[in-house]
Structure 1
């Protein structure tokens, strides 16, 4: 079968890889679509994500959907031909974090397309994939598999919102209007936030946030460097801030605009190494700084929202590119003036 394999910085190859054997509790799926994520882009452009360096050839991709082609003897609830959402997380289910219901914090996690462990966990930009049965979430036959592949990034936004608790009636700011930021805006609006403000450095991304995702206001922090200053008056305007850009500067900008006792949630992956923080502000204003990493039960929630049509992910879909043209797709995906999220059509 064919797969998109990254060997390091700017070295992505479409090549044959071997199919894997199937255990009793596993399922072989055919991957239909795979969304190019920010982490995939980092592997392609830098050969690393955060502190995770590519040390062996790595099949990229974790935002995927498809259908079952073969089920192991213990996966009798899944039949060939069933459309499915494909959860990239394979927690161990036995460590203390898993037993506490915090599967996303599993100490022995296998996450698709990640160099976070060695040997690496090969990803979903391959025509076939073997997953544990609980990673395969069956959906109705009429489900749009392209939209369904957005379940994983939507789950990240939902999880970030759930980290805070109730957002009902609260003022929210989201820094960074890439796919994760936009889906966090959407999740905050759905959670009942009274007002959501989005920032970015690209007008095209901000237009999507404002016109399609429910942001009440947007600020281009590149062309309007003083745009956030007005929110610092009277001790800060926002109750909750979500930092989704992965920019240390964006993170630091939030401690002046969040009210005393407010919450800052780090959603985007920051550069490797230490990040300087205004700890005196964090302390004197009793601001709560939270981390948000991937998702947990929110993956199933995201699937349900997409399948039911309760959430519309169409605004972030920027087109599909055949797997054989993945290199050009990765180059195009970096043009944020034209692209929100490109998908690879894996099985075409």
Structure 2
């Protein structure tokens, strides 16, 4: 029986516009019949959250109204959905933040991440915007919730969403067991990709970044070698069978193309700015490289949860900082500095 009483408001992280991020109380609405109320425990700060704060936009998704940020969240069900779907009150859960859109005939049925009109928690891609879940109590459709096994701590589970992005990217490589892999860009997605590659049996993993701290994290989760991003000669000499490009800038993509072996595959998971990009595409042509996009994820989240629970996916070094929600602005300042931080968590219960 659901006895939880929803408070009238709760503290949240709200982006009001460029350079205008606030920790403020927001009113709470009663959940719809298919929604559970989740008491959020942890939230991971994503690059898109930083973009809404720093630029008032994430790519072509432009902030037009104040929006609650956050899609990397875990917590405990405080009130189960009234329609009887989803987990019971008291269940620890992770969140799959996507809602596929209509138009199934326009994308492969097994790839709903490509659906036109897909919405995501904490996204300004549509108007009205889709509020995120960086707040103490979030109303979330029960279909988004994934039950967490008791052996998986909530703090570690906070990495489930970005780890699923990395898992999807590695799956787009088409098999990495016994292969040499180059990972360009060692932010949280890049370092999580290293961890996934290690678990998947990659023979040799080389990690590339501009800064020492991300490279330390990459080595801690399984990289066999690390290179600075400005060492173009060493990167080109890698000649990796597979490259994961996770820097999200044209210089990283250039490194990825240069570091791939002839006939190799480059998986592009780092989201480059919209518009034309100056890239030496002629090398991709003459070397017959396969350039493959990777966007979000689908049901990989279930495999990620299982791998985190059984310990086969080692990710703890990726989480470098944790802040209480009351210090949320400091948390965002830390997360924007990739020279000192990996994944930065907000603790909503502290």
Shorter-chain TM-score above 0.5: yes
2:235 corresponds to 1:228:
yes
CA distance in 1, matches of 2:267, 2:183: 9
1:32-86 Cα offsets, whole Å, 9 max, x none, are 1001111111211122212222111111111110011112232345211111111
Q: Equivalent of 1:149, from 158, 163, 166?
A: 158
Distance 1:58 1:77 in 2: 26
| TM-score calculated relative to the size of structure 1 | 0.93
**1:269, CA displacement in angstroms?**
1.3
How far is the alpha carbon of 1:328 from its aligned partner? 1.3
Query: Which residue is 2:3 aligned to?
Result: none
Distance change in 2, residues 1:318/1:278 (3 Å) = same
Could you tell me which of 102, 127, 134 is aligned with 2:136? 127
Checking the alignment, whether the CA contact within 8 Å between 1:97 and 1:103 is kept in structure 2 is no
Tell me if structure 2 keeps the 8 A contact 1:221–1:227. no
d(CA) in 2 for partners of 1:225, 1:282 = 17
The Cα offsets for residues 76-120 of structure 1, whole Å up to 9 and x where unpaired, read as 452111111111112247733677121211222220111111111
Q: Secondary structure at the match of 1:172?
A: strand
SS of residue in 2 equivalent to 1:255:
helix
Verify: 1:214 aligned to 2:216, yes or no.
no
CA separation in 2, counterparts of 1:141 and 1:280? 51
The answer to whether the 8 Å contact 2:34/2:83 transfers is: yes
Question: CA offsets per residue over residues 169-223 of structure 1, 9 Å max, x none?
Answer: 111101001100001111112111111110000111111212x11111100124x
For 1:1-348, list aligned pairs within 5 A. 1-92=10-101, 95-96=104-105, 100-210=109-219, 212-222=220-230, 224-231=231-238, 237-348=239-350
Report the CA distance between 1:267 and its aligned residue: 0.6
TM-score (structure 2 length as normaliser): 0.92
- 8 A contact 2:56–2:62 mirrored in 1: yes
1:28 touches 1:70 (CA, 8 Å); kept in 2?
Answer: yes
Uncovered stretches (5+) of structure 2, i.e. residues with no partner:
1-9
2:121 and 2:86 map into 1 onto residues whose CA distance is: 23
> What's the CA shift for 1:7?
1.0
Q: Supply the distance in 1 between the matched residues of 2:44 and 2:222 (Cα, whole angstroms).
A: 23
Tell me, yes or no, if the aligned pair for 1:91 and 1:98 is still in contact at 8 Å.
Answer: no
The whole-number CA distance in structure 2 between the counterparts of 1:208 and 1:99 is 36
SS at match of 1:249: helix
Tell me, yes or no, if the aligned pair for 1:26 and 1:75 is still in contact at 8 Å: no
Q: How many residues align?
A: 341
Residues 230 and 166 of structure 1: is their aligned pair in 2 closer, same or farther, counting only changes over 3 Å? closer
Partners of 1:51 and 1:272 within 8 A in 2: yes
